[in-house]
Amino acid sequence: VEFLYCDLASMKSIRQFVQQFRAKNCPLHVLVNNAGVMLVPERKTEDGFEEHFGLNYLGHFLLTNLLLDTLKQSGTHSHNARIITVSSATHYVGKLHLNDLQSRCSYSPHGAYAQSKLALVLFTYRLQHLLTANGSHVTANVVDPGVVNTELYKHVFWVVKVVKWMTAWLFFKTPEEGASTAIYAAVSPELEGAGGCYLYNEERTKSADVAYDEELQRRLWTESCKMVGISDEGSRLP
């Protein structure tokens, strides 16, 4: 195991990480996008992005796109490279505000978090469409880990913290249990060659209806490319 530093809240750090990784000339068979913050007060990343959207979504969007060539070179017909992105059931109540992705008009920690998680589902579906259209041996799936007992809840109201402390053993998954679906998506033979799936408890399930809106997927992808400064190759595909 070798550690390489990457701050998903920094576009500069992501680019530096990718340069370091590429310099090693290693194949890349599995990429798990799992960084995140939840319900943080209104604040911005060093690039000026609202933190939920910038870290939870844009950081993973840029990282994945910069590593796509390596993933494509690593995947084969019998063993596809795999991209697994961790979203949340919160995406079901999320709304994507294309005219205000940075939540400048009216900031809500819950709304910003839910939007970032919905964006990850839309991104995964669009990415799989592009990978299929290019004939790439790479699959992209999105997973819901469930309610997991981690430090992600440190910004919730104190009453919720007390309830969590009292009931976590009964209602919350352990980190190991929360990781199981992402691991399943990364290594299960049952998912070989299968992409564009939303997975919960190691099973394919239906995501929010709005996540299947292909026009919304395309518009988010195009806007995301502009925000992180990469070319929108996908705009030329149906």
* pLDDT on residue 67: 98
Our answer to whether residue 113 is catalytic in this structure is yes
Per-position b or e across 30-56, b if 16+ CB within 10 A of its CB: ebbbeebbbbeeeeebeeebbbbbbbb
Catalytic, out of 92, 113, 125, 198: 113
Return the closest-CA partner of residue 142 out of 182, 172, 194, 189: 182
Per-domain residue ranges for the chain? 11-228
Rounded Cα distance, 160 and 130, in Å: 41
The SS3 call for residue 203 is strand
* pLDDT on residue 19: 98
What pTM was estimated for this model as a whole? 0.88
Superfamily of domain 11-228: NAD(P)-binding Rossmann-like Domain (3.40.50.720)
Evaluate whether 138 touches 72 at the Cβ level (below 8 Å).
Answer: yes
The residue count of the chain comes to: 238
Evaluate whether 53 touches 98 at the Cβ level (below 8 Å).
Answer: no
**Along the 238 residues of the chain, how does pLDDT read in single tens digits?**
899 999 999 999 999 999 999 999 999 999 999 988 887 889 999 999 999 999 999 999 999 999 999 999 999 999 999 999 999 989 999 999 999 999 888 899 899 999 999 999 999 999 999 999 999 999 999 998 866 445 554 545 444 444 444 555 445 657 677 688 999 999 999 999 999 999 999 899 999 999 999 999 999 999 999 999 998 876 555 4
The dihedral over CA atoms of 156, 162, 163, 166, expressed in degrees to the nearest 10, equals 140
